[in-house]
Amino acid sequence: MADHDATLFDRLDTSVPHPARRYNYWLGGKDNFAVDRASADQIAAAWPSAPIAARENRRFLGRATRFLAAEAGIRQFLDIGTGLPTADNTHEIAQAIAPESRVVYVDNDPMVMVHARALLTSTTQGRTSYIEADLREPGKILNHPDLLATLDLSKPVGLMLVAVLHFLPGRGAAAPVVAELVDALPPGSYLVVSNATKDFLPAPIAAVYDRMLAAGQTDIWPRERAEFAALVEGLDLVPPGIGVVSDWRADEPDQPRPAAADVSVYGAVARIP
């Protein structure tokens, strides 16, 4: 192990669950600790379809990336809340369509930095880079030298905020962060966004979720449709508009769609005019 990796491991707090590692567990990965699995299992005990939601959200990311690269002609991507590398990462999908695509990944988990080599692989025509930073400080992300060396912010960018905004707790907390990021991008850029919601949950499950949220047993802040819609206000929604992520351009052959209550994640793709 390199000294750099050893230093990063020293910064890992394995006593506190982290969303990236919990998400990795739900996706069937092995880059997680006992505390992450315990947290994930506690959430799944109240909402058994949580792993389904994680998988459908990942598929949404893949379909949205393919749309941006193949149909919208986007060649630059800013993926915030990257998570731990797994199959079909943003750069793999985008560069398979357009090898010259450039991707900047951002996450605040030191373990993601340890695994960044998997994210930093790239075609010779394109480029990828990784920034360890926090979504709550968008200015630091936008002005980071590695971002500025990889992306040209005068040209359209695909901004990926997939399953990350619901870690900003509080009604209205996500909107200013999204606005600051969107305002930094030129017309013709796109926003890909998803956020957990309780809108489709049966009342008893929603009540249990509220109790877990109040007790600090989950850090996933659900947003109702009106608050989610405010995140893309003023942008041009790509059809089919706002809906559960499992239904957004779901064209996988012979794959049944899960019920909205089993996914409970809103998703949308919108163009910055």
- Work out the number of other CB atoms within 10 angstroms of the CB of residue 247: 15
Nearest Cα residue to 63 out of 181, 162, 195, 170? 162
Contact 48, 172 (CB under 8 A): no
Round to whole Å and give the CA distance between 79 and 67.
15
- pLDDT tens per residue across span 149-188: 999 999 999 999 999 999 999 999 999 999 999 999 999 9
pLDDT score for 3: 46
Round to whole Å and give the CA distance between 192 and 269.
5
pLDDT score for 50: 80
> What are all long-range contacts of 240-246, with beta carbons under 8 Å and residues at least 24 apart?
241/268, 242/266, 242/267, 242/268, 243/267, 243/268, 244/56, 244/200, 245/56, 245/57, 245/59, 245/60, 245/194, 246/56, 246/59, 246/60
CA dist 173 to 39, 99, 136, 178, 271, Å? 24, 36, 10, 9, 22
pLDDT confidence bin for 4, thresholds 50/70/90: very low
- pLDDT tens per residue across span 184-214: 999 999 999 999 999 999 999 899 889 989 9
Round to whole Å and give the CA distance between 189 and 271.
6
pLDDT confidence bin for 254, thresholds 50/70/90: low
- Residue 197, SS3? coil
- pLDDT tens per residue across span 85-121: 777 899 999 999 999 999 999 998 887 777 777 777 8
The DSSP 8-state label assigned to residue 164 in this structure reads -
Round to whole Å and give the CA distance between 268 and 241.
6
Segment 115-130 mean pLDDT? 86
Contact 47, 127 (CB under 8 A): no
- pLDDT tens per residue across span 5-53: 445 445 556 777 877 788 788 777 777 888 889 888 888 777 777 888 8
List of domains in the chain:
3-249+261-271 (3.40.50.150)
